[in-house]
Structure 1
Amino acid sequence: MDVKYPNARAHLFDAIRALSTSPDSIQARLIDASESLLTVTIDDFADDPELVVKFTRILDKIAVDRGDAEATAAETAAYMSDAQASILADLVCDFFYEIV
């Protein structure tokens, strides 16, 4: 049985692990998760336009600026409210569920 999107699945799982296994604030967990999230690319889902749109939505929330995406993601997450950070964490988990 072929696993679809093996690279993306591995990195998204790492992101979920960072989100769920730390006693830190949700913002700090998002900063940790963003390292794994940003290694996934839209090209990983090129064969499924719906997944491209959903993943783009996640990227737009965490790394709006296209300069230094990792630094931008850290800064963006650091200034999110708990509610905003929780919504983003939910989007990541829901997206992972869709590609499993």
Structure 2
Amino acid sequence: MKILDVPTVSTTDVKKSPAKIAKMAADLNTGVYVLNRGKAVSVTLTPKQYQQLVEAQERLLDIEAEEKAREAINNDDGTRISADKVSKNSIPDQLDPDDGWE
């Protein structure tokens, strides 16, 4: 496995001083790969770095959802599916006023 050009530490280093590894991630402003017998087993990030990563992922997921919606709109042929087929259950014509939701 090729590891990116980022700092690496061993699991032994993490056991000795986890705060030092977190400080390294903060000082270098990057994740620090944790290796066990030469294989990456985790990446240490600061809370801020992790939050930025999660926010970036959420933005990408939003962009992906918008793109799928845009594609669906552009490919819409006007065909509609009845509510009965969507729900696979019979939909009553009238609402039950005593269904417990009011």
TM-score range, shorter chain: under 0.3
Rg larger for: 2
Q: TM-score, normalised by structure 1?
A: 0.22
Q: Hey, which of these two has a bigger chunk of helix by percent? A: 1
Choose between structure 1 and 2 for higher RCO, CA contacts under 8 A separated by at least 6 residues: 1
